[in-house]
Amino acid sequence: MSSNNSNQDNFIRFALEAKVLSFGEFKTKAGRLSPYFFNAGGFNDGARLSALGRYYAKALQESKIAFDMLYGPAYKGITLAAATAIALADNGLNVPFAYNRKEAKDHGEGGSLVGAPVKGKVVIIDDVISAGTSVRESVDLIRGAGAEPAAVLIALDRMERSGNAVEIGAKSAVQAVEQEFGLPVIAIANLADLMSFLTSSNDTQLTNYLPAVKAYRDKYGI
């Protein structure tokens, strides 16, 4: 059971206050009815982005993974990697960061990688992993530059089997990435943290959602 001021609990509280995390009934891309919705696009002002970077930085440092630089896949990952790099620098750890552009440029610096030279052990930063495609692109770009992906850092691990409303896969998107690329996936918080947060909450409005989240986890969870 996590304590009430753990990085996970604080992050969940912060995501709820920012309306980035909401409860209700939401249709996922896979066609499932989910009792909760997480949209990192809602971290859309300076204070929230700054706080988010601190949560990412803390999760990364607590993971004890060795890394040399950060990489943010376009588009969402760009601001996330930048915010995390700033937070790490504020903690006294100044690391380079890079990102990709969706369209290769044919003039100026050329190529699809922007920012610091991609080398050493690289942490890929994104919001969630729904399918492994953006991770695959990032891994290919990083290896293509002669560097080595070290981990994937995300905000929330839904701990949910892949597939759709009818077919349920054996693994979650995160597990698939861990197995396919041999990369650890670090999440600021996951579905288990969300459930323990709801369980220990004094807010009846929140605890009311617990049965729906539990039923969803029983059906689709790993």
pLDDT in tens, 42-97: 999 999 999 999 999 999 999 999 999 999 999 999 999 999 999 999 999 999 99
Question: How many domains does the chain contain in total?
Answer: 1
Return the closest-CA partner of residue 40 out of 164, 211, 193, 187. Answer: 187
Does residue 1 lie in a domain region? no
CATH code for the domain in which residue 116 is found: 3.40.50.2020
Does residue 113 lie in a domain region? yes
Does residue 156 lie in a domain region? yes
Does residue 140 lie in a domain region? yes
Catalytic choice (19, 27, 105, 219): 105
Is residue 1 scored above 50 in pLDDT?
A: no
What's the pLDDT at 130?
78
What's the pLDDT at 29?
82
Distances (CA, A) of 207 to 158, 188, 217: 19, 21, 15
Range of the domain at 24: 7-220
What's the pLDDT at 35?
96
Site of tokens 């620098």:
89
Catalytic choice (29, 64, 102, 107): 107
Q: Is 29 a catalytic residue?
A: no
Does residue 85 lie in a domain region? yes
Percent of the chain with pLDDT over 90: 82
Confidence of residue 111 (pLDDT cuts 50, 70, 90): low
Q: Is 119 a catalytic residue?
A: no
